[in-house]
Chain A
Amino acid sequence: MKTARVAFAGAIHTAFEDPKGLRLADGRVVPETDVVWLPPFETGTIIALGLNYAKHLKELSKELTITEKDEPLVFLKGPGAIIGHQGQTRRPKDVTFMHYECELAVVIGKTAKGVKAADAMAHVAGYTVCNDYAFRDYLENWYRPNLRVKNRDTATILGPWFVDAADVADPHNLSLSTYVNGERTQHGNTADFVNNIPELIEYLSEFMTLQAGDVILTGTPDGVVDVNVGDEVVCEIESIGRLSNTIVDDQVFGR
């Protein structure tokens, strides 16, 4: 099943797919254009991966006969960065390189502590699409990626749908694409993960207890480009959803 969280007519609702738009839990069917999309679940700890699609890294590792993988590059995000489908993301005027990152978001469904990879998928509740923007101009070499680059208000978009894990046959074989103003600029497949979902859950749950609502953003493939004010950015993952977002300028935010 797919569920969304939307604001409509003075309240927040759980919403379902319907041929005529969206069906709210209370029975009302409303056009998609009449709702405000919120992140599709209440986020707990937001865990993000860097460099998890490095195909070339795998190739290089084989050449070097490296048998052990490096530790995954993990960072955390705060709740203020999160917005929903069809939201606005601010591009500060002093920025010269701001790029999207289309990522499969894995939502934890039950507490995981010391979980082995073989048992890990039982802890996954479902999936959604994430677009996690980076602002390269602000990159500094202290506690990378520093929060000014990766934890800005409005810069992490989740949605539109939360998709039950049971409805996704193989999360490690999903095509991902990003379109900027309709033109495809990024394309990859989750089959190319360096660390797959069970490996990530085993790694993380060794030192931190994962709880329902925690989410793992699994990294992005190559193909990130600068986006500008007015651009519509769509991140699409096969079977999961199509997440759209618009870039706006400082003026919209009264700056």
Chain B
Amino acid sequence: MNFDFSPFHLSGVVYGTLMNDPEALADLGEQVNEAPYKAPPKAPVMYIKPRNTLAATGSALCLPAGHQSLEIGACLGLVIGRTACRVPVGQALDYIAGYTIVNDVSLPHDSYYRPSIRFKARDGFCPIGPRVIPASELNKPDELDVSVYIDDNLVQQSSTAGRVRSVAQLLADVTDFMTLQAGDILMLGAAARAPKAPAGSKVKIEIAGLGCLENTVVNEEELS
């Protein structure tokens, strides 16, 4: 895909965050203290969306044979503007060039212990866009409405507010152990209870001020 959302150039490096909605942990109840987890997470729960997953708005999301639906992770994407290493919380927003929408697509899975990467790293499982909005035009990234529509029906309404880690806190905690570079994307993480989209459905993620990211779920057989 073309990573230039002019004037921004995306590096193609995309990090995801999980369990950043307190309700996601709350939904697990006592399980968080039982095996295999044994304790709630301390550091941000992170993963990587490799370059084969990157896609644009309008692309097809491939539903592999034997699966009924795809999980739609509607995320705010922080586009890093300059080398970010050990960024203090108070200055973290200065390191963000802009914001975009990321659809962190997964095959539904129940365990967060050591899930196979084939749930999240399939080709085309990370649409990004439709554009990058400069940080200067978005003053309050922690107060954005996020809506997910499947076939034009509103199926999830959430907000970037009230997260375990705010945008600034997440960037501070992550850059304590790994440096992010200009053009890298860090996802704030989807809200709890991500909706599922069946074959043939149209998926639209809207984040206030960022536009809409739209993709269609297609059966694997129909694509090949």
Question: Could you give, for residues 64-101 of chain B, a 1 whenever the CB lies within 8 Å of some chain A CB and a 0 otherwise?
Answer: 10000000000000000000011000000000000000
Measured between beta carbons, the chain A residues less than 8 angstroms from B48 are 76-78, 147, 151
Q: Answer whether A151 and B123 are a contact pair too, CB < 8 Å, given A78-B15, A140-B42, A140-B43.
A: no
Q: Is the interface of A mostly helix, strand, loop or mixed?
A: loop
A76 x B121 contact (CB < 8 A): yes
CB closest residue in chain A, given B119: A207
What residues of chain B lie closer than 8 Å to A78, measured between beta carbons?
13, 15, 48, 178
Closest B residue to A151 using CB positions? B178
Is residue B22 within 8 Å, beta carbon to beta carbon, of the partner chain?
no
**Contact mask A136-178 → B, CB, 8 Å, 1/0?**
0010111111111001110000000000000000000000000
Nearest residue, chain B, Cβ from A92? B177
Which B6-40 residues sit within 8 Å CB-CB of chain A? 13, 15, 18-19, 36-39
Known contacts A76-B121, A147-B48, A151-B177, then 6 further A-B pairs from the complex at CB < 8 Å, ordered by chain A residue: A75-B117, A80-B181, A140-B42, A142-B19, A143-B113, A207-B118
State the Cβ distance, B193 to closest chain A Cβ, in Å.
18
- Chain A stretch 62-86: residues in CB contact (< 8 A) with chain B: 71, 73-81
**A44 contacts chain B at the CB level, 8 A cutoff:** yes
Asked if B196 lies at the interface with its beta carbon under 8 angstroms from chain A, I say no
Q: Is there a chain B Cβ closer than 8 Å to A209's Cβ?
A: yes
A76 contacts B47, C-beta separation under 8 Å: yes
Contact A153-B178, Cβ < 8 Å, known A76-B121, A143-B47, A211-B51: yes
Q: Which of B41, B85, B122, B178 neighbours the largest number of chain A CB atoms within 10 Å of its CB?
A: B178
List the B residue with the shortest CB-CB distance to A113: B123
With A144-B113, A148-B177, A207-B121 as contacts: A76 and B50 at CB distance below 8 Å: yes
Q: Say yes or no: B50 contacts A208, CB within 8 Å.
A: yes
Which 6 pairs from chain A and chain B are nearest by CB? A45-B50, A76-B48, A147-B46, A144-B114, A207-B118, A142-B45
Bound Cα distance A47, B118 (Å) = 12
Chain B interface category by residue count = 35 or more
**Distance to closest chain B CB from A172 (angstroms):** 23
A153 to B179, CA, bound (A): 7
Least Cβ–Cβ distance between A114 and chain B, in angstroms: 9
Interface residues on A, range: 20 to 34
CB distance from B61 to the nearest CB of A (A): 13
Smallest Cβ distance from B74 to chain A, in angstroms? 19
B: residues with CB less than 8 A from A are 13, 15, 18-19, 36-39, 41-43, 45-48, 50-53, 64, 85-86, 112-118, 121-123, 177-181
Shortest CB distance B38–A (Å): 6
The smallest beta-carbon distance between B93 and chain A, in angstroms, is 21
Inter-chain contact A143/B114, CB cutoff 8 Å: yes
Chain B residue, CB-CB nearest to A73? B114
- Report how far A206 CA is from B62 CA in the complex, Å: 13
**Chain B nearest Cβ from A45, distance in angstroms:** 4
Question: Once the chains are docked, how many angstroms separate the CA of A96 from the CA of B42?
Answer: 18
> C-beta contact mask, A46-61 vs B, less than 8 Å → 1, else 0?
0100000000000000
Given contacts A45-B52, A208-B123, contact A142 B177 (CB under 8 A): no
* Chain A contacts for B18, CB-based, 8 A: 142-143
Query: Which residues of chain A have C-beta atoms less than 8 A from B46's C-beta?
Result: 143, 146-148, 151
- The answer to whether residues A138 and B113 also contact, given A45-B51, A147-B178, A208-B52 and a CB cut-off of 8 A, is no
Q: Please, which residue of chain A has its CB at the minimum distance from the CB of B118?
A: A207
Say whether A209 contacts B52, CB under 8 Å.
yes
A207's contact among B64, B177, B179, B181, by CB below 8 Å, is which?
B64
The CA of A184 and the CA of B7, in the complex, are separated in Å by 52
* CA gap between A132 and B67 in the complex, in Å: 35
Q: Which A residues touch B177, using CB under 8 A? A: 147-148, 151-153
Instruction: Give bound CA distance, A52 to B148, whole Å.
Output: 40
The answer to whether B45 and A143 have CB atoms under 8 Å apart is yes
Determine the distance from Cα of A71 to Cα of B116 in the docked complex, in whole angstroms. 8
Tell whether, in the assembled complex, residue B122 and residue A81 are in contact, meaning their CB atoms are under 8 Å apart.
no
Q: How many angstroms between the C-alpha atoms of A145 and B43 in the bound complex? A: 12
A71 to B48, CA, bound (A): 19
Chain A residues with CB under 8 Å of B41's CB are: 140, 142
Query: Measured between alpha carbons, how far is A206 from B65 in the docked complex, in Å?
Result: 12
